[in-house]
Amino acid sequence: MLSVLTPLCEKGVHLYGSIEELFKKLSTLHDYERQPPSGVVRTFGLENVRTLSRSLRLEENTIPIVQVVGSKGKGTTATFLSNRLQQAGLRVGLYQSPHLFSRTERILVQGRPASEASWLQSGEAVLSHLHLCDQTPSRFEVETILAYHLFYEEKVDVIIAEAGLGGVADATSVLSPVAIVLTTVELEHTHILGDTLFSITSQKIGHLPEDGKLFVGGVSEEVKQIVAEVLPDRESDIVDVFETHEITDVRLSKSGISFLMSTQLSNSSCVVELPLFGKHIPQTYALAHAVSEWILADVLGRGGYGEWGCTSVEGKRAHLERVDCGDGILLVDVAHTMDSVKGALSACREHFGRAVDRVVFGVNVDKKVDGLLTLLLEESTSLWLVRNPHPKGMSAQDLYEMACMSGECDDLRAYDSVDAVCKALQAQGGDKEQITLVLGSYALAGAVLEKLA
């Protein structure tokens, strides 16, 4: 395989002495996830990443790339897919965002963060080419190219890339995928992707290569029709997972979910048991299963459909993750939109037979929270508001004042820090069946898990 590394110094000697020094350099780039709008209008496109890709000769590599796009479920689908392919003996690179604890979680090799040496090597290679770009790239653009470069140097068999925003103009689309995996489509980021389901769907799948495959997951019939309109005469390239896979005998419990999955691809069926919560889990698992079977059988020729079975795999953290924390049941989730919050609340009712007792909630200032606060006040008798530990985090006092105008609650509190709210949770005693749900953002979920898990 072609090496894409342009040596900058003697082997083993790096321009940056540590990954912290590298991250300090990367932090000078604009980070749209963490920094408030600068007032400068920026048109998103692929010019920067194409320049970097060409200069590093990334396009000369032939490692198959699977791009995961969608409004929800990208992270879980990508994690399921990565773990299934690893079980089959493949060396897998996974690029995902955002992160819970450390930025190193965004670039995984065999399910583990890439080594510091790999980060430094690829980081130096990419940063040495920034001067070739007409416009200074964003941090996400640079780290996307860094991830692809690192995966090629690590000689992975398959790359799974979770899109950051949309698809057509997302940095992960700089290299053509062998397949695009569409999880769900909702009205989101309308100021960038458009304000209709048609425009958003087009942005997510409109770049499907002529020889590429599209796997469609749990989308509505309306979105399926839009897919057909966006990709006319491509029926043979579109796989509707719920035409190839059937999910039956779904059983929910306080410890997780089990279901029977039957697939036409291999004319087989099996029982899958997962320590995860939510009725969407079987659909997400089936989507990852279909893609993995196709990769193994058709792309890599590693065996026929069904040969690798459908054993249980690990899911993504902080997706209704259960944490032992004294008395009661503590669940941590990254839900932050109306639909995802409704889904988390519904999953709790389905698995535990009743509504949650307490919600701990924190969000960023750029989120519309009026409707969310009304929903949370209706769904629980106790609402604890906390400042989200993120540069754009909304203050607990602002949330509290908005909550007071949105409804009433028996136990409405505001905490200035995650440390304070975690101490309050640990001090709670009494009912061992009491359910507390933490949600609002990756930053909040990660901070709570770091304190309590």
Q: With 70 as the cut, is the pLDDT of residue 407 above it?
A: yes
Report yes or no on 225 lying in a domain: yes
Q: Percent of the chain having pLDDT more than 70?
A: 92
Phi, psi of 202, deg, nearest 5: -60, -40
Domain count, the chain: 2
Which of 288, 256, 393, 310 lies closest to 70 in space, CA to CA? 288
Q: Are residues 285 and 360 in the same domain?
A: no
Q: Which residue is listed with tokens 């980060």?
A: 119
Domain that holds residue 368: 319-452
Q: Are residues 260 and 323 in the same domain?
A: no
Report yes or no on 4 lying in a domain: no
Report yes or no on 294 lying in a domain: yes
The one-letter amino acid code at 219 reads V
Q: Are residues 379 and 252 in the same domain?
A: no
pLDDT, tens digit, for every residue of 104-153?
Answer: 999 999 999 999 999 999 999 999 999 999 999 999 999 999 999 999 99
Instruction: Quote the CA–CA distance of 34 and 442 in Å, as a whole number.
Output: 12
Q: Are residues 233 and 326 in the same domain?
A: no
Q: Where are the beta strands (DSSP E) in 223-301?
A: 238-240, 245-253, 256-263, 268-274
Peptide bond before 64: cis, by omega within 30 degrees of 0?
Answer: no
pLDDT, tens digit, for every residue of 280-303?
Answer: 999 999 999 999 999 999 999 987
> Quick check: 241 and 217 in contact, CB under 8 A?
yes
Instruction: Quote the CA–CA distance of 304 and 296 in Å, as a whole number.
Output: 8
Instruction: Quote the CA–CA distance of 81 and 58 in Å, as a whole number.
Output: 23
Report yes or no on 305 lying in a domain: no
Q: What is the chain's mean pLDDT, rounded? A: 91
**Residue 352 vs residues 260, 275, 278, 325, 434: alpha-carbon distances, Å:** 21, 14, 11, 17, 10
Instruction: Quote the CA–CA distance of 214 and 346 in Å, as a whole number.
Output: 30
Domain boundary among 245, 270, 299: 299
Q: Percent of the chain having pLDDT more than 90?
A: 79
Tokens for 247, please give them: 């999910």
> Quick check: 347 and 315 in contact, CB under 8 A?
no
* The predicted structure's pLDDT at residue 310: 67
Q: Is the dihedral of CA 161, 166, 167, 169 positive or negative?
A: negative
CA angle 238, 244, 250 (to 5 degrees): 130
Q: Are residues 82 and 189 in the same domain?
A: yes
Q: Are residues 138 and 201 in the same domain?
A: yes
Report yes or no on 121 lying in a domain: yes
> Quick check: 395 and 424 in contact, CB under 8 A?
no
Report yes or no on 311 lying in a domain: no
Report yes or no on 189 lying in a domain: yes
Strand order in the sheet with 245-253: 245-253, 256-263, 268-274
* Three-class DSSP category at 273: strand
pLDDT, tens digit, for every residue of 382-399?
Answer: 999 999 999 999 999 999
**DSSP state for residue 89 in the 8-state scheme:** T
| Alpha-helical regions (H) of 154-196 | 190-193
Report yes or no on 110 lying in a domain: yes
Q: What is the CATH number of the domain that holds 371?
A: 3.90.190.20
Q: What is the CATH number of the domain that holds 40?
A: 3.40.1190.10
Q: Are residues 99 and 69 in the same domain?
A: yes
Instruction: Quote the CA–CA distance of 336 and 344 in Å, as a whole number.
Output: 10
* The predicted structure's pLDDT at residue 11: 47
Q: What is the mean pLDDT of residues 186-208?
A: 91
Domain boundary among 269, 299, 329: 299
Longest dimension (CA), the chain: 65
* Three-class DSSP category at 395: coil
Q: Are residues 208 and 277 in the same domain?
A: yes
> Quick check: 139 and 72 in contact, CB under 8 A?
no
Instruction: Quote the CA–CA distance of 322 and 431 in Å, as a whole number.
Output: 17
Q: Are residues 141 and 193 in the same domain?
A: yes
Domain boundary among 253, 270, 299: 299
Q: Are residues 44 and 90 in the same domain?
A: yes
**CB neighbour list of residue 392: distance below 8 Å, 6 or more residues apart:** 34, 35, 36, 364, 365, 366
Q: Are residues 213 and 76 in the same domain?
A: yes
Q: Are residues 136 and 33 in the same domain?
A: yes
